Chains A and B, each alone.
Chain A
Amino acid sequence: MKTTRLIIVAVGGQGNLLASRILGEASLLSGIPIRMSEIHGMAQRGGVVESALVFGDAESTIISDGEADVLVGFEPSETLRALNKCNSGTTVITNLSPLPPFTVAIGKGIYPDLGMLQELIRAKTKRLIAFDATALAKEAGNVMSVNMVLLGALLQTGILPLSADNVKEAITVRTGKFAEFNIKAFELGFSSAKLS
């Protein structure tokens, strides 16, 4: 089976690990081989959380520079920071709602301009899908469901060997009483990616 490599980057607290877990559960449901790896020691301390998901026949659980087929960023500057994982054939999906790090607030760094950020990613990769996932999460009724909006957009691209229904089933199993909001968020992300 063809190998598909996905990187998800987010800021601690944005639900990256849950999103990865849902894709893992969806793979288990549909019999797709999957291995994933995450660095989450600092997840609750506002640091960057990166997950690597490898679908298909490869054995490795991490993804080297230039080898991601898809990059999903929950925060725009973090998407740009992870560009080293991409190549000219990579599809990039990014939230456009910034969460500037505190280093910006204390004058130790400049947050990148969002227009320039999108141009850079677009020029270096195959395709960029960029939209305000945070606004869609609010529309779905829960600002915490940014992760689900982006999962929706990711599934719309058809790059993963998973169906949207498998993922929705995993969301339902995994997120209990929030499932309704989460499915709505997933669907908003799905249709939004269709338009971009």
Chain B
Amino acid sequence: MHKLLTDNPGNKMLLLGNEAISRGAIEAGLAFAATYPGTPSSEISLNFFKISQESDLYFEYSTNEKVALEVAAAAANSGVRSMCIMKHVGLNVAADALMTLAYVGVKGGLVIITADDPFMFSSQNEQDNRYYGKLSGLPVIEPSSVKEAKEMMPYAFDLSEELQEPVLFRTTTRINHSTAIVELGKIRKRVPKGSFKKDPFNYVTVPAVSRKLHVKLLKNIEKASHLSDNSIYNFIEGKGEFGIVCNGVSYIYVSDAVKDLNLEDKVRILRIGFSHPMPAKLIKTFLKDCKKVLVVEEGEPYMEEAVKAFAQEEGLTLSIRGKGEDLFSRLYEFDPAMVRKCIAKFFDAASPSTKTVDLSNVPELPQRPPNLCAGCSHRATFYAVKKAAEGLETIYPTDIGCYTLGFLPPLGMGDFLICMGSSVGTSCGFSKITDNKVISFIGDSTFFHSGIPGLVNAVFNNHNFTLVILDNGITAMTGHQPNPGVDMSNFNLSGYGRIVIEDVVKALGVQHITVIRPYRIKKSIEAIKEAINFKGVSVIISKEMCTLYSKSLKKPAGKPFYISEKCKNHRNCVNDLACPAFFIKDNRVHIDPVMCAGCSVCAQICPENAILPLKDRK
């Protein structure tokens, strides 16, 4: 049995934040979930994927976040407790659905997870999705700890059903990827089947209906505001004259800092866990008891703006500060020492001296950026494209996935990236406005997610570029999730369809389509040359299973290679490929046989044919 299904209330478990969130949803009777994977949210869905294989929970990996939200919205409007899980930027993709779903509302509880990523550990931006609450009018719930992430989940479902609205559940990386001891609660029985009651004059959002629904939404926000004022997750601690308003992980940093600074008697804390609508009454009461107030929140001054506005409404003139050059930054994530320092500064408290060691005589260390794995097929494709395009002025728009790492030297294959699917759309623009040869890269999952509309556009508007679809048979970057092109028998699952990328591209009317096997370097280079000489849209599908995934499926691997005495130290292998299996010892290149995946790409490009399969070693 999956450990998160353990029906033993009171039992304690060590859980990752994302496990705690999944468990909280299971305790809330979650029956239906849809997602598109994205760090730091991915493990939540991975748990549901596994749980769905041994229970009546329905779970699916949808094509993208917008589709996932539509799928979940239908289930919730059929009365079933549902969830939709995504990273923060995923909500941009789903925003079109979100904004009007807020008008329509739900019948069964619907919780939407938005996992924000301050500091951008694995994201392209650090947008603060609390503003989506304000933009859509939907309630926002934010936990401060792993323990609370579990506890708040049943609350969020109840809230959703009380308001008949979806609830945004906003986490940050330090909630998702922290681990703590969590006490299990009771599991509410799942109701896995729903029924849809027709009501077109409340469900079909033509203008006349939406005008009415917007009125309903505004009334709902008012009701939510009252609930926020009385929520157990918006609470005041302490009785001092110094006020601190905080949310999320900032709250735990504040708690530690207040203790460390011996300010327990002087500080009054308002913790906000229900952050849209902000609890107006509670904040106004809080402000009246404070001499000055510090707002501690990662990201944007979302609460600070609200608190200042409430003070103005009450005619209060106390100092309210948060973001500013001398205090908190809008950049990156916070840490306990930084929060402690700002609190000490703002309230004139004695701060313990910093204890950091002097690093001035530590030499510069070699960087260790993440790298494509040993034997990664993307490396082979990038090398082949680079060779095929030698002598051409090129632009390489790229996309989101492991292959984004190809932009690093020595491959240097990646010139422009803004979001999922942008490789294709931007190729249209670059090829029209410049005289460069445009060759872009997109992975299989990203192609299904949002690459297809760009390609339709390219064919219709008769653009001129080459799109390389890197089909490694899995959504690799986020931890090997399925996508519509994946052979689900690899997961021992049946009853799924499978979409062949080549057929899709053909059906879209692309006139030049080539499928290559990237480990065959010479053949690949020839095929790519032909494709890039084609005038119009050409597509190359580079097919080779992700080497990590292949290993996890225990597929037969290639024999490792070694570098024989014939090596004359040209080092094309190391300098052109930078495969992590290479290392230099005594000024000679060696291959780590444990890491080597046996792809043979280095052996094919060695000018001396000095790289040989290990079994042939004499």
Residues of A within 8 A of B (CB): 11-12, 20-21, 24-25, 27-28, 33-42, 44-48, 58-67, 77-78, 80-81, 83-84, 86-89, 100-106, 108-112, 116, 120, 124-125
Contact = CB atoms under 8 A, between A and B. Distances in A.
Interface string B352-392: 00111111011111111111110000000000000000000
The 8 closest A-B pairs by CB, nearest first: A109-B366, A64-B337, A66-B356, A41-B122, A45-B370, A47-B370, A87-B355, A59-B252
Contacts of B336: 58, 60, 62-64, 67
A121 B66 CA distance: 51
Contacts of B368: 11, 46-48, 77-78, 101, 103
B47 interface: no
A63 B356 CA distance: 12
B442 to A, nearest CB: 19
B357 A83 contact: yes
B362 A44 contact: no
A87 B355 CA distance: 5
Nearest to A170: B14
Given A11-B368, A66-B354, A59 B179 contact: no
Contacts of A21: 14, 179
B366 A110 contact: yes
B367 A65 contact: no
B460 interface: no
Given A37-B177, A87-B357, 16 more contacts: A21-B179, A39-B121, A44-B373, A44-B548, A48-B368, A60-B252, A61-B252, A87-B355, A87-B356, A89-B355, A100-B583, A102-B580, A103-B366, A103-B369, A105-B583, A110-B363
A29 to B, nearest CB: 10
A137 B363 CA distance: 29
B252 A102 contact: no
Given A46-B373, A46-B580, A101-B366, A41 B355 contact: no
A6 B109 CA distance: 41
B366 A24 contact: no
A105 B582 contact: yes
A114 to B, nearest CB: 12
Contacts of B338: 64
A64 B178 contact: no
A34 B181 contact: yes
A20 B177 CA distance: 13
A110 B256 CA distance: 40
Contacts, number: 168
Contact of A34 (B180, B355, B367): B180
Contact of A125 (B178, B357, B367, B579): B357
A45 B403 CA distance: 11
A102 B370 CA distance: 10
Nearest to A41: B122
In this complex, the interface size class of chain B, counting residues with CB under 8 Å from chain A, is 35 or more
25 contacts: A25-B14, A27-B14, A37-B177, A38-B177, A41-B39, A41-B122, A42-B370, A44-B373, A44-B548, A45-B372, A45-B405, A46-B368, A58-B256, A60-B252, A60-B253, A61-B145, A61-B178, A64-B335, A64-B337, A66-B354, A77-B366, A78-B368, A81-B365, A83-B362, A105-B582
B236 interface: no
B574 interface: yes
A96 to B, nearest CB: 16
A33 B181 contact: yes
Interface string B514-543: 000000000000000000000000000000
Nearest to A32: B181
Interface string B389-400: 000000000000
Interface in B255-309: 255-256
B402 interface: yes
B40 interface: yes
Nearest to A113: B363
Contacts of A86: 357
B235 to A, nearest CB: 15
B575 to A, nearest CB: 6
Nearest to B260: A58
B180 A84 contact: no
A108 B366 contact: yes
B333 to A, nearest CB: 8
Interface string B406-428: 00011000000000000000000
